Structure 1
Amino acid sequence: MTEQHKLDPDTAIDLAYDIFLEMAPENLDPADILLFNLQFEERGAVEMVETADDWDMHIGTLIDPDAYAEVWIGLVNDNDIMDDIFAKFLISHHEENREYHVIWKE
């Protein structure tokens, strides 16, 4: 088995943000899109976080957390804590067959 080359944080963040911009109009409430656009410059954040082990509850299949990067896109509060999450991304490290899953804000 070959060792998996992991996405570096900047690449994972760029991929998630590009997908977010493309898919947000179809998956977010117009009010959330407006809020995001108005607040992103001041409070926006796109962060790679430790891959959660509960994605199976969201996507219906077990995943190897080491095979994926998890990126959150949202707004931070005055304490620099992301408390308004618009999307959580799960992006595979497999470059030739890049899979991703998104949990959108409801």
Structure 2
Amino acid sequence: MSARLSSIEEVSQQAYDIFLELAADNLTAEDVELFDSHSEEFGFIEDSVPDDSWQSLVAYEQEAEAEHFVQVIVGLELDQGDTVFAKILISRDLDAPFCHIVWKQ
């Protein structure tokens, strides 16, 4: 039986919503203020195939589970370079919800 998968767009939006909900608890007050004041104009949400770094952080097998997960990057594209506030691994599988966030240090 194949998994029931959300669309990439749906899980990317879900990841962003989770980011917004948890940002104040996981980022500095300065980073939250920076994101809040510039996100409308310079913010980005980028989804992609999960990179290799997740294998060392969570029980994730890239080859076997790649289509079931999306990596979402949330940040700002500023003149001095991109600032990444969160890198998120989120499941597309409706029957196996999962989300792990690596926050800006």
Give the TM-score normalised by the residue count of structure 2: 0.84
Query: What is the alpha-carbon root mean square deviation over aligned residues?
Result: 1.7
Q: Distance in 1 between matches of 2:96 and 2:3?
A: 12
Please give the residue correspondences for 1:17-96 in structure 2 after superposition, counting only pairs within 5 Å: 17-59=16-58, 61-63=59-61, 64-77=65-78, 83-96=82-95
Structure 1 residue runs of 5 or longer lacking an equivalent are none
Q: Which has the higher contact order (CA 8 A, sep 6+)?
A: 2
Q: CA deviation at 1:51?
A: 1.4
| Matched letter for residue 71 of structure 2 | E
Q: CA deviation at 1:104?
A: 0.4
Q: Distance in 2 between matches of 1:105 and 1:70?
A: 15
| Matched letter for residue 62 of structure 1 | Y
Give the TM-score normalised by the residue count of structure 1: 0.83
2:6 matched residue in structure 1: 7
Structure 1 residues 56-104: Cα deviation after superposition (integer angstroms, max 9, x where no partner): 2223x233333211111001145xxx72110111111210221111110
Q: CA deviation at 1:105?
A: 0.4
SS at match of 1:70: strand
Aligned residue-pair number: 101
Contact in 1 for aligned 2:71/2:89 (Cα 8 Å):
yes
Higher mean C-alpha deviation, range 82-91 or range 5-14: 5-14
SS at match of 1:102: strand
Q: CA deviation at 1:14?
A: 1.0
Higher mean C-alpha deviation, range 47-56 or range 19-28: 47-56
Q: Distance in 2 between matches of 1:89 and 1:27?
A: 13
